[in-house]
Amino acid sequence: CSTSAKKPVLTLFTKKPCPLCDEAKEVLEPYKRRFILQEVDITLPENSAWNDKYKYDIPVFHLNGKFLMKHRVDIKKFEDQLTKLELQ
C-alpha cells in the first residue's frame, strides 16, 4: 500500500530484557497503525555506538531519525510530533 511510505518511523532503542520498553510499547499500541516501529537492539555488535550513547537511558525513541524521548513515553509529545509529521 502506497500510504505506508509516508508513515513516520518510530525507532525504539532497546535491549533484552527491558521491562520499560515493553511498557512503552503497550502505551503506544493504540497508535501503531499511524507509524512504523523499528527496534534497535543496542547490545548487538553493529549497534555499539548506540549502546555507548544510550546504555543507561533505554528505552530511547527517535521519530524519523530525530531524538524524541527517553525512559518513558510522553504521550502528549508523541501525539504532537506524530500529528505534525502526518500533516506535512
- The C-alpha cell at 15 is 535491549
Q: Which amino acid belongs to residue 85? A: L
- pTM for this model (two decimals): 0.91
Q: Is the pLDDT of residue 2 over 80?
A: no
H helix intervals, the chain: 19-28, 48-54, 75-87
Q: In terms of CATH architecture, what is 9-87?
A: 3-Layer(aba) Sandwich (3.40)
Q: What is the gyration radius of the CA atoms in the chain, in angstroms? A: 13
* Domain definitions of the chain by residue range: 9-87
- 3 pLDDT above the threshold of 80: no
pLDDT band at 25 (very low <50, low <70, confident <90, very high): very high
- β partners of residue 14: 41
Phi and psi torsions of 55, nearest 5°: -55, -30
Q: What is the pLDDT of residues 35-85, one digit of tens each?
A: 999 999 999 999 999 999 999 999 999 999 999 999 999 999 999 999 999
